Amino acid sequence: MLKNFSRKSLIFLLLIVNNFTVYALENQRIHYSQSGTLVADISASEESASYGFFGSISALRGEVTGVAFGDGTSLNPTVVSNIPIGSPTLGTVSGTLNINANFSQKFSGFNLISGYSFKDQFLGGRFNLSTAIPILDITRSPNITLSSISGATCSNNLLTSNQCSIASNSIAQKFITNLNSANSASDSGVGDLVTEVNWSKNIDRSKFFLGFGITAPTGSYSVTTPVNIGLGYWSYTPTVAVIYNDSKLALAGRISYQYNSTNSNSTYKSGNVIITELSGLTKVPEVGIFGINTIHVNQVTDDYLGTPVSISGYLYSVNTPNSDGNRMRYLSFTPYYAIPLPETNSIISFSYTWKSNTVYSQLSNLFLIKFSKKF
């Protein structure tokens, strides 16, 4: 079945945009696939005469293990945060809570892609149109506990130090309970839809791409909840890519510039980013395709908050960006394995993605199984 890596059976992968939306700079996520777009594209690139409908379905599952910040620190299990407290009970009680901010956030779902490659050529190349529809489920389960209370004071002089300590602890426990409740959330449904048009042309063993993608805020979004399927804003992404392919190996590169509009719900504008992908694979007869994809994300403009907003009680609030503009950057790695199925004009692939060198980004991993077919 794997003896011949049929050009016809693989070319449609060039047209598929794997834009699964889970991660925006506003809450450490962006409108770009964590595993990238070249994982499918590079599998073949020599066929230039193929046209018609194509499609794919991906099943995905992943977990957010923490959040990296600009100073190199991260929020993940056992990390301590400081939160002030206060209460009018028996006068006022104030101090600082030292908490263990543990949480678990998991996501799963499907990504459906359909598209069409047009028969008529323009300047020796062909136009392709595709739409990606993510169907997602995200669940956050916090386990925030009290580590200690520092600087506890009571304004009521009738309270002894022991009574003040008891009052402070009682208020702190209620605060922790409310904090767990505020940060426990889930959301599911259709996410932000991605539509892309691209033009591609073959020259010898290389294929060149020019593309433009639009991501619409169709997924649910609320500024008052810590977990959202959608990101709440539009993204526009022009792209240039090139793929070199021969009988044994393939190499590819892609660079994109993503412009993000202002989120009308929160007045927050996520900065624009440059996304670079590099990928390579080797074809092993009778075994399959082995490859690796790397993505580098670098935010080049600052985040901006139009009207300062802070949601009290959330670990992840919509706050004014820091002096560095909350500029995101990360490097991700995606090794993958693909099995061509020439008899059915399709292919199935398996990939695993993790992030490295993250700043203002979620620390996460992603496992994905994808079936693609040319009709």
Q: What CATH number does the domain containing 211 carry? A: 2.40.160.40
Query: How far is it, in rounded angstroms, from Cα 20 to Cα 224?
Result: 24
The distance from CA 291 to its chain's CA centroid, rounded to whole angstroms, is 21
Three-state DSSP at 291 gives strand
* Domain presence at residue 196: yes
Task: Judge whether 1 lies within some domain.
Answer: no
Rounded distance between C-alpha atoms, residue 210 and residue 254, angstroms: 10
Residue 69 lies in a domain: yes
Does residue 94 belong to any structural domain of this protein? Answer: yes
- 38 φ, ψ (degrees, to nearest 5): -80, -15
CA distances from 313 to 16, 105, 267, 334, 362 (A): 41, 18, 20, 36, 20
Q: In Å, how far are 75, 173, 199, 243 from 314, measured between CA atoms?
A: 13, 16, 45, 45
Residue 262 lies in a domain: yes
Asked if the structure places residue 2 within a domain, the reply is no
pLDDT band, very low/low/confident/very high, at 319 (cuts 50, 70, 90)? low
Residue 18: what pLDDT? 27
Could you report the per-residue pLDDT of 98-151, keeping only the tens digit for each? 888 777 889 999 999 999 988 888 888 889 999 999 999 999 888 888 888 888
Q: 108 lies in a domain?
A: yes
pLDDT score recorded for residue 125: 85
- The pLDDT-based confidence of 304 (bands split at 50, 70, 90) is confident
- Position 27 scores a pLDDT of 61
Q: CA 44, 45, 51, 54 torsion: positive or negative?
A: positive
Domain that holds residue 343: 7-374
User: What's the average model confidence in pLDDT over 205-228?
Assistant: 89
Count how many domains the chain has: 1
Q: Among 57-61, 152-156, 244-248, 307-311, which is the least confidently predicted range?
A: 307-311
53-83: pLDDT as tens digits:
888 899 999 998 877 777 666 665 444 556 6
The pLDDT, as a whole number, for residue 272 is 95
Q: Give residue 68's pLDDT.
A: 79
Residues 167-189 have a mean pLDDT of: 86
b/e sequence 214-228, b meaning 16+ C-beta within 10 Å: ebebbbbbebebbbb
Does pLDDT of 40 surpass 70? no
Whether 258 is covered by a domain: the verdict is: yes
